[in-house]
C-alpha cells in the first residue's frame, strides 16, 4: 500500500473512525458505571427521527440542520424518558424502551411517507453510516498532509469529529472530580454542594452530541458499540477509574483501526473482491476485544 | 397583629436556639407516595454533643437526615446549620451515608475515596499536592486503615468499608458530622474504632449526629438521644429521655419484652 | 411561506382516499393476504403483550432489545448458507430459523457477560446488541456483493414489510403467531409466579431457571415471528409498551397480563389494518405508534397511577400536611416559617389576613392538639397496635377508632399519666 493510495482513501476514514470511537468511549466509561449504558442505545435510535424532522422543517439536506435536529431529538428523548420514569413510576429500562421505539417508529413513518425519498436520506444510511465514502480526493500522498490547499479538501466530517472529540475530552477533564464522586456516591456528592442532577444531564447531553456527530460517519446503531464495548472491556482490565479510561481509549483506537483495515482489506486477504461495511466491522472488532477481555482480563470478576 | 406577635417570646427563644444549633430542623415532613415517612419533626441538636437518632425500622431516621441535608426534597419543613441554610454551610458538614448506598465494585482505591473528602479544598481542577495526600493518609491512620490505602474498595470487608467512609468524612474537617447507621453490619473491632474516633471528635468540640439502631449501646456511646417514629417522640440527654416509657412510645408493641429487660439493666 | 413546507405524500393520499378502505381493513375485507397479516399481527401483539409482561415485571425489559438486534447476523448467514446449498435463499422459515439461532446466541452472551464477569446486565445488553448488529451489517454487505444478493430483500427485516408477501409466508406468520400465543397462555401460571416473587417460587418447588428459560423462549419466539411484520428494531416495542400501559390500570399481576395482552392485540390489529388500508405505510411503525397512543392515554388518564390523578392527589396531600402542621404550630403558639402553610390557613379562614387565628382556627387547632395527645396514647399502648400501625399523622382518629375507644383514651388523658410497668 503506497502513500498515494493510503492517504486519500484510507487515512481520513481511519482518523474519523478513531475520533468517533474515542469521543464515544470517553463518556461511555461513566455511562457504564452509572448503569446507564443503554442511554446510548436510546439516543442513537432517536437520531433518525431527529434528522427527518430537521429535513421536513428546513427542506434541505444540509449537515447543520440535521445535526441540530438529531441533537434536539436526543434531548427530547432524554427528557421524555425522565418524565415517563418519574410521572409513571416506571423503571428506567422500560421507560427507555417506550420512548426510543416510539420516536424511531415516528421517524421511519415520516421518512417513508414524505418526499425525502427523492434525496439521499434513507433508513439504512442512518443505521449503518458510510465511513468508506469519506475520502480525500485532493491528496496525492503523504506530502498532502502539509499542503494547505489539499487540506482544504479534507472531508468535512474529519474536522467536525475532531472538534467533537476535543469538546468531549475537555468536558470529561474539567468535570472529572464531580463526575467521579457523583457516579460513586450521589448522596455524598450532594452534601458537597454538587448539582448532581444537572451534571448527570450534562453527561447525557455530551454523549448525545458525540453520538449525533458520529452518526452519519458510522451509523446510529453502531455508535452504541463504541459507547459500551471499549469501557466495558477496560473495566475488566483494571480497578482504577483513571487507568480504565486510558484502557478504553486504547481499545477504542484499536477497534477503529483494526475494524477499518479488516473491512477494507480483509476480503482481499482471503481471496474475495470488494469490501465489507467498515462501521459494522469496527463494532465487530470492539466486540472481539470485549470478548477477549471477558475471558482473559485480569480484573474480570467481582472482588468477593 | 399576627401569629408572630402573639408568640413573640417563644419565637425569639426558638430563633436563638436555631442560630446556635449545629443542626436545627423545623416542621420537616417527607413523604414517599401518600404516607409520610417523617411527619412534622422539629429537632435541635446540642453543640458539642453526640446525638443518636433512634427509632424502629421505617421510622424515618435516615430520611430525616437526608431531608435535612437536602439530599431528598421534603414536602414541608426547613433545616439550618449554625443558623444558616445547609446550602450556605456545606463546608461545615461531613456526611457519612449508609454503606449499602454505593456500589463497592466501583473502580477506585481506598485513598481515592478519602481524597473525595478533600474536594472542597481542591475544587474542580486544583492540583493534588503531597500535603493533600499526607492529609488523606492521616485520616486513614485515624481509623486504622493506613495499610489499605492502595487496595481496591471492593476487596474490603464491611467494617473496613465503613472506616473508609469515616476517613473520608474526617478529611472534610467539618464541625458537624452526620452518620447514617455507622455501626450497621460491622465487626466489633470496627465498632470500637469508629466510636473512639467519634468521641475524639466530640472531645475536640465537634458535633456528632448518628442514626443508630442498637439500643443496648446508646447509653454507652451517646450524650443525647432523639427518639422518632415518623413523628418526634422525645429528645434530650440520654439520662432524662432514654427511658422505658419513651421507648415504649417510640417502638409501640414492637419492642420485645426481653429487649426491654436488657435495656432496663443498661439504663439503670 | 406555507409553500416551503412539502406536504407529505401520505397526507395527500389520506385526503384523496375514501374512508371505507380503512373500514374494510378493520373488518378484514382487504383480501386474503392482508387478512392473514392482520390476524397474525393481532395474535402476535397478544402474545408479545402477555410475554412482555413477565420481562417487565422482572425489570429486564431491554433484554428483548439485545435479542432482537442479535437476529440480524443470523438472517444474513442463513441466506448465505441457503444460497450456498443451491436455493435462492429467501425461504422465510430458513431465515427465521437463522434469526432464532443467532438471537439465542446473543441471549447466551448477555447472561454469560452479566453472570461471569463484573459487568452489569445493561452493559451486557448494549454490548451484545451493538456488536451483533454491527456484525450483521458486515454480513449484509457481503451479501450485496453476491449475485443472488442483489434482490435478497433482507432489509425488509429491519423495519418489517408485509407488502407483496407470498401467500404461504402470510399463512406461516399467522400460524406461528397463533402457536406463540398458545405457548404463552400455556406457561402463564408458573411465569406469573416466578415474575412476582422468584424466592417464593423457588421455595414452593418451582424451577426458576427453567421458568426464566421459558420466558426467554417466549421472547425469542415473539421476536422471530415479529421480524417480518414489525422488523427487528421495533419488535421490542411490542414487548415493552403493552405491559407498561397495562401497569397503569391495575396492581394485580394477573390483570396486568390480561390488559397487556389486550393492548398488544389492539395495537397489532389496528396497526396492521391501517397499514393495509393506506399504501406504503410500513406495518411496524404504525403498530408501534398505535401502541404508544394507548400508552400515552393510560399515562395521563388512568385512575390512581395516572399522571393527572397522582398530581391532584399529591397536591391535596401536600395541603393537608401543611394545614395540619400549621394547626399544630398554632395550638402550641409556635411560629410558622413557611409561606404555603400561612396561605393555606388564611384561605381556609383559620387565620385572619393579619395573621391572628380565627375562632374556628382556634377550635381546629385545639382539636388537632387533642388528637395528637390521643395518638400518643394509642401508640404507647400495645392493645391499640393495629390502629397505631395505620398512624401517619394525618388520618382522623375517628376513622380508625370507635367512639368507645376514644372515650376510654380521653379518660386516660384526663387522669394523671401513669407509667406502664
DSSP assigned state of B193: H
B90 contacts A187? CB cut-off 8 A? no
- pLDDT value at residue A1: 56
Q: What is the pLDDT of residues C377-402, one digit of tens each?
A: 777 676 776 776 666 667 777 777 78
Quick count: other Cβ atoms within 10 Å of Cβ B26?
23
Q: Look at B155-164, C39-48, C394-403 and tell me which has the smallest mean pLDDT.
A: C394-403
Average of per-residue pLDDT across C183-196: 78
C159 contacts A283? CB cut-off 8 A? no
Give B-chain residues touching A188 at CB under 8 angstroms.
95, 97, 116, 168
Q: Look at A19-28, B259-268, C231-240 and tell me which has the smallest mean pLDDT.
A: B259-268
Cβ-based neighbours of A296, under 8 Å, separated by 6 or more: none
How many angstroms away from the CA of B142 is the closest CA of chain C? 32
What are the φ and ψ backbone dihedral angles of B127, each rounded to 5 degrees?
Answer: -70, 140
Q: What is the mean pLDDT of chain B?
A: 87
Catalogue all structural domains in chain C, each as residue range(s) with its CATH number: 18-285 (1.10.3470.10), 308-412 (no CATH)
For A41, which of C65, C119, C142 is closest by C-beta distance? C65
Which range among A52-56, A191-195, A253-257, C8-12 has the greatest average pLDDT?
A: A253-257
Confidence band, pLDDT 50/70/90 cuts, at residue B254 = low
Burial pattern A290-299, b for ≥16 Cβ within 10 A else e, equals: bbebbeebeb
Express as a percent the part of chain C with pLDDT over 70.
Answer: 86
How many residues in total does chain B contain?
268
Residue-by-residue DSSP string for A147-183: -HHHHTTS-THHHHHHHHHHHHHHHHHHTHHHHHHHH
Quick one: angle between helices B257-267 and B244-251, nearest 10?
150
Answer yes or no: is pLDDT of C3 > 70.
no
Q: Look at A13-22, A70-79, A218-227, C151-160 and tell me which has the smallest mean pLDDT.
A: C151-160
C394 contacts B39? CB cut-off 8 A? yes
- Contacting B residues, span 222-251, partner chain A, CB-CB under 8 Å: none
For C158, which of A123, A275, A302 is closest by C-beta distance? A123
- A197 and chain B: CB distance < 8 Å anywhere? no
For C155, which of A94, A124, A282 is closest by C-beta distance? A124
A105 contacts C130? CB cut-off 8 A? no
A235 contacts B71? CB cut-off 8 A? no
- A302 and chain B: CB distance < 8 Å anywhere? yes
How far is Cα A160 from Cα C159, in angstroms, rounded to an integer?
30
- B249 and chain C: CB distance < 8 Å anywhere? yes
Cβ-based neighbours of B100, under 8 Å, separated by 6 or more: none
Residue among A182, A193, A195, A199 with most chain B CBs within 10 A, to mutate: A193
Answer yes or no: is pLDDT of A61 > 80.
no
- pLDDT value at residue C416: 53
How far is Cα C387 from Cα C399, in angstroms, rounded to an integer?
10
Answer yes or no: is pLDDT of C8 > 60.
no
- pLDDT value at residue B167: 96
Confidence band, pLDDT 50/70/90 cuts, at residue B263 = low
How many angstroms away from the CA of C210 is the closest CA of chain A? 24
Answer yes or no: is pLDDT of B261 > 60.
no
Determine contact, residues B57/B5, Cβ cutoff 8 Å.
Answer: no
Average of per-residue pLDDT across A80-84: 90
Confidence band, pLDDT 50/70/90 cuts, at residue C99 = very high
Average of per-residue pLDDT across C31-40: 82
Number of H helices, E strands in chain B: 12, 10
- pLDDT value at residue C419: 45
What are the φ and ψ backbone dihedral angles of C184, each rounded to 5 degrees?
Answer: -60, -45
Answer yes or no: is pLDDT of C19 > 60.
no
How far is Cα C170 from Cα A228, in angstroms, rounded to an integer?
38
Number of H helices, E strands in chain C: 20, 0
- B200 and chain A: CB distance < 8 Å anywhere? no
Average of per-residue pLDDT across C28-54: 85
Confidence band, pLDDT 50/70/90 cuts, at residue B13 = low
How many angstroms away from the CA of A234 is the closest CA of chain B? 11
- pLDDT value at residue C188: 79
Nearest to B167, CA basis, from B177, B154, B157, B155? B177
B3 contacts C392? CB cut-off 8 A? no
Interface size between A and B, measured as CB pairs under 8 A: 78
Q: Which residue has the higher pLDDT, C211 or C250?
A: C250
Answer yes or no: is pLDDT of B119 > 70.
yes
Average of per-residue pLDDT across B77-100: 90
- pLDDT value at residue A138: 80
Q: What is the pLDDT of residues B210-253, one digit of tens each?
A: 999 889 999 999 999 999 988 898 999 999 999 888 888 888 76
Confidence band, pLDDT 50/70/90 cuts, at residue C11 = very low
Catalogue all structural domains in chain A, each as residue range(s) with its CATH number: 3-122+156-296 (1.10.3470.10)
B230 contacts C391? CB cut-off 8 A? yes
- pLDDT value at residue C143: 87
Average of per-residue pLDDT across B127-143: 94
How far is Cα C114 from Cα C116, in angstroms, rounded to an integer?
6
Answer yes or no: is pLDDT of B75 > 60.
yes
Rg of chain A in Å (alpha carbons) = 20
Answer yes or no: is pLDDT of B266 > 70.
no
The residue written with cell numbers 390523578 in the block is C309
Residue A133 grid coordinates: 465514502
How far is Cα C295 from Cα C272, in angstroms, rounded to an integer?
18
For C138, which of A106, A224, A276 is closest by C-beta distance? A276
Express as a percent the part of chain A with pLDDT over 90.
Answer: 44
Is C21 exposed, middle or buried, given 0-12, 13-18 or 19+ CB atoms closer than 10 A? middle
How far is Cα B111 from Cα B117, in angstroms, rounded to an integer?
10
B90 contacts A184? CB cut-off 8 A? no
Confidence band, pLDDT 50/70/90 cuts, at residue B259 = low
Cα dihedral C15→C18→C24→C29 (10° resolution):
-110
- A172 and chain B: CB distance < 8 Å anywhere? no
- pLDDT value at residue C382: 67
How many angstroms away from the CA of A294 is the closest CA of chain C? 6
What are the φ and ψ backbone dihedral angles of B145, each rounded to 5 degrees?
Answer: -120, 20
**Dihedral sign computed on CA atoms, order B94, B99, B104, B106:** negative
How many angstroms away from the CA of B144 is the closest CA of chain A? 22
Q: Which residue has the higher pLDDT, C124 or C324?
A: C124
What are the φ and ψ backbone dihedral angles of A176, each rounded to 5 degrees?
Answer: -55, -50
Residue among A35, A239, A264, A284 with most chain C CBs within 10 A, to mutate: A284
Residue C233 grid coordinates: 428494531
Determine contact, residues A6/A271, Cβ cutoff 8 Å.
Answer: no
The residue written with cell numbers 387547632 in the block is C365
For A191, which of B93, B107, B155 is closest by C-beta distance? B93
Answer yes or no: is pLDDT of C211 > 70.
yes
What are the φ and ψ backbone dihedral angles of A89, each rounded to 5 degrees?
Answer: 50, 55
How many angstroms away from the CA of C404 is the closest CA of chain A? 42
Distances, alpha carbon A68 to alpha carbons A49, A169, A224, B23, in Å: 12, 21, 20, 48
Strand ranges in A68-199 using DSSP code E only, listed in sequence order? none
- pLDDT value at residue C393: 64
Chains linked to C by 3 or more Cβ pairs within 8 Å: A, B
Answer yes or no: is pLDDT of C38 > 60.
yes
Amino acid at each position: 500500500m503506497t502513500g498515494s493510495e493510503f492517504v486519500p482513501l484510507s487515512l481520513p476514514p481511519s482518523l474519523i473512525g478513531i475520533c468517533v470511537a474515542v469521543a464515544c468511549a470517553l463518556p461511555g466509561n461513566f455511562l457504564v458505571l452509572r448503569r446507564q449504558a443503554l442511554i446510548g442505545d436510546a439516543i442513537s435510535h432517536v437520531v433518525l427521527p431527529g434528522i427527518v424532522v430537521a429535513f421536513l422543517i428546513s427542506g434541505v439536506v444540509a449537515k447543520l440542520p440535521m445535526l441540530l435536529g438529531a441533537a434536539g431529538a436526543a434531548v427530547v428523548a432524554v427528557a421524555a424518558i425522565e418524565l415517563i420514569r418519574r410521572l409513571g413510576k416506571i423503571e428506567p429500562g422500560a421507560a427507555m424502551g417506550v420512548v426510543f421505539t416510539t420516536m424511531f417508529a415516528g421517524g421511519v413513518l415520516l421518512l417513508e411517507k414524505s418526499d425525502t425519498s427523492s434525496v439521499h436520506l434513507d433508513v439504512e444510511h442512518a443505521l449503518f453510516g458510510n465511513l468508506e465514502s469519506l475520502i480525500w480526493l485532493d491528496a496525492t500522498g503523504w506530502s498532502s498532509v502539509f499542503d494547505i490547499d489539499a487540506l482544504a479538501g479534507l472531508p468535512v466530517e474529519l474536522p467536525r469529529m475532531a472538534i467533537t472529540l476535543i469538546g468531549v475530552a475537555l468536558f470529561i477533564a474539567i468535570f472529572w472530580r464531580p463526575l467521579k464522586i457523583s457516579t460513586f456516591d450521589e448522596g455524598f456528592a450532594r452534601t458537597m454542594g454538587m448539582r448532581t442532577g444537572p451534571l448527570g444531564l450534562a453527561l447525557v447531553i455530551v454523549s448525545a452530541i458525540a453520538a449525533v456527530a458520529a452518526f452519519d460517519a458510522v451509523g446510529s446503531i453502531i455508535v452504541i458499540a463504541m459507547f459500551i464495548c471499549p469501557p466495558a472491556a477496560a473495566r475488566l482490565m483494571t480497578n482504577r477509574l483513571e487507568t480504565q479510561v486510558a484502557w478504553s481509549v486504547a481499545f477504542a483506537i484499536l477497534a477503529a483501526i483494526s475494524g477499518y483495515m479488516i473491512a477494507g482489506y480483509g476480503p482481499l486477504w482471503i481471496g474475495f473482491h470488494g469490501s465489507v461495511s467498515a462501521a459494522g466491522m469496527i463494532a465487530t472488532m470492539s466486540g472481539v476485544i470485549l470478548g477477549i477481555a471477558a475471558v482473559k482480563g485480569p480484573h474480570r470478576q467481582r472482588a468477593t | 397583629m399576627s401569629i408572630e406577635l402573639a408568640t413573640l417570646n417563644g419565637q425569639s427563644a426558638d430563633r436563638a436556639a436555631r442560630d446556635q444549633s449545629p443542626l436545627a430542623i423545623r416542621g420537616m415532613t417527607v413523604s414517599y407516595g401518600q404516607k409520610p415517612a417523617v411527619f412534622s419533626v422539629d429537632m435541635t441538636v446540642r453543640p458539642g454533643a453526640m446525638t443518636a437518632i433512634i427509632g424502629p425500622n421505617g421510622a424515618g431516621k435516615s430520611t430525616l437526615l437526608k431531608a435535612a441535608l437536602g439530599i431528598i426534597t421534603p414536602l414541608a419543613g426547613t433545616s439550618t446549620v449554625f443558623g444558616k441554610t445547609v446550602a450556605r454551610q456545606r463546608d461545615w458538614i461531613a456526611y457519612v451515608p449508609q454503606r449499602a448506598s454505593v456500589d463497592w465494585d466501583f473502580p477506585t482505591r481506598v485513598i481515592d475515596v478519602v481524597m473525595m473528602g478533600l474536594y472542597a479544598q481542591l475544587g474542580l481542577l486544583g492540583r493534588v499536592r503531597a500535603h493533600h495526600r499526607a492529609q488523606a493518609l492521616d485520616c486513614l491512620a485515624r481509623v486504622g486503615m493506613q495499610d489499605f490505602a492502595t487496595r481496591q474498595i471492593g476487596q474490603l470487608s464491611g467494617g473496613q468499608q465503613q472506616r473508609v467512609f469515616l476517613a473520608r468524612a474526617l478529611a472534610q474537617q467539618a464541625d458537624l458530622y452526620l452518620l447514617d447507621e455507622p455501626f450497621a453490619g460491622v465487626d466489633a473491632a470496627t465498632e470500637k474504632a469508629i466510636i473512639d474516633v467519634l468521641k475524639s471528635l466530640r472531645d475536640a468540640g465537634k458535633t456528632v449526629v448518628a442514626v443508630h439502631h442498637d439500643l443496648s449501646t446508646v447509653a454507652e456511646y451517646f450524650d443525647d438521644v432523639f427518639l422518632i417514629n415518623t413523628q418526634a417522640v422525645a429528645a434530650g440527654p440520654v439520662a432524662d429521655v432514654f427511658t422505658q416509657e419513651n421507648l415504649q412510645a417510640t417502638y409501640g408493641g414492637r419492642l420485645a419484652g426481653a429487649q426491654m429487660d436488657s435495656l432496663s439493666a443498661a439504663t439503670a | 411561506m406555507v409553500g416551503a413546507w412539502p406536504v407529505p405524500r401520505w397526507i395527500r393520499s389520506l385526503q384523496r382516499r375514501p374512508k371505507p378502505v380503512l373500514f374494510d381493513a378493520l373488518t378484514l375485507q382487504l383480501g386474503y393476504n392482508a387478512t392473514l397479516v392482520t390476524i397474525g399481527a393481532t395474535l402476535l401483539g397478544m402474545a408479545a403483550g402477555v410475554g412482555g409482561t413477565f420481562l417487565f415485571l422482572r425489570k429486564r425489559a431491554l433484554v428483548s432489545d439485545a435479542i432482537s438486534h442479535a437476529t440480524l447476523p443470523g438472517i444474513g448467514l442463513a441466506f448465505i448458507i441457503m444460497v450456498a446449498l443451491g436455493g435462492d435463499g429467501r425461504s422465510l422459515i430458513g431465515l427465521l430459523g437463522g434469526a432464532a439461532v443467532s438471537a439465542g446466541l446473543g441471549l447466551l452472551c448477555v447472561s454469560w457477560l452479566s453472570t461471569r464477569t463484573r459487568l452489569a446486565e445493561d452493559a451486557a445488553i448494549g454490548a451484545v446488541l451493538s456488536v451483533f448488529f454491527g456484525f450483521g451489517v458486515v454480513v449484509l454487505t457481503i451479501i450485496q456483493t453476491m449475485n443472488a444478493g442483489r434482490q435478497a430483500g433482507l432489509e425488509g427485516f429491519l423495519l418489517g414489510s408485509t407488502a407483496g408477501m407470498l401467500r404461504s409466508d402470510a399463512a406461516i406468520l399467522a400460524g406461528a403467531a397463533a402457536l406463540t400465543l398458545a405457548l404463552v397462555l400455556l406457561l402463564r401460571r408458573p411465569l406469573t409466579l416466578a415474575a412476582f416473587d422468584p424466592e417464593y417460587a423457588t421455595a414452593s418447588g418451582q424451577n426458576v431457571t427453567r421458568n426464566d428459560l421459558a420466558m426467554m423462549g417466549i421472547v425469542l419466539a415473539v421476536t422471530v415471528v415479529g421480524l417480518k411484520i414489525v422488523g427487528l428494531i421495533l419488535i421490542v416495542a411490542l414487548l415493552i409498551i403493552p405491559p407498561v400501559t397495562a401497569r397503569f390500570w391495575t396492581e394485580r399481576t394477573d390483570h396486568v397480563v390480561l390488559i397487556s395482552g389486550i393492548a398488544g392485540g389492539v395495537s397489532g390489529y389496528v396497526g396492521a389494518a391501517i397499514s393495509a388500508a393506506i399504501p406504503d405505510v410500513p406495518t411496524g411503525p404504525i403498530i408501534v405508534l398505535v401502541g404508544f397512543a394507548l400508552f400515552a392515554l393510560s399515562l395521563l388518564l388512568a385512575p390512581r397511577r395516572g399522571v393527572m390523578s397522582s398530581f391532584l392527589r399529591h397536591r391535596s396531600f401536600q395541603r393537608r400536611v401543611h394545614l395540619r402542621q400549621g394547626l399544630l404550630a398554632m395550638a402550641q403558639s409556635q411560629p410558622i416559617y413557611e409561606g404555603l402553610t400561612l396561605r393555606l390557613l388564611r384561605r381556609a379562614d383559620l387565620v385572619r389576613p393579619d395573621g391572628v387565628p380565627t375562632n374556628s382556627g382556634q377550635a381546629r387547632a385545639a382539636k388537632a392538639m387533642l388528637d395528637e395527645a390521643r395518638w400518643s396514647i394509642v401508640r404507647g399502648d400495645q392493645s391499640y397496635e393495629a390502629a397505631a400501625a395505620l398512624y401517619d399523622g394525618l388520618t382522623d382518629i375517628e376513622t380508625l377508632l370507635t367512639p368507645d375507644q376514644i372515650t376510654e383514651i380521653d379518660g386516660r388523658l384526663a387522669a394523671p399519666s401513669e407509667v406502664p410497668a
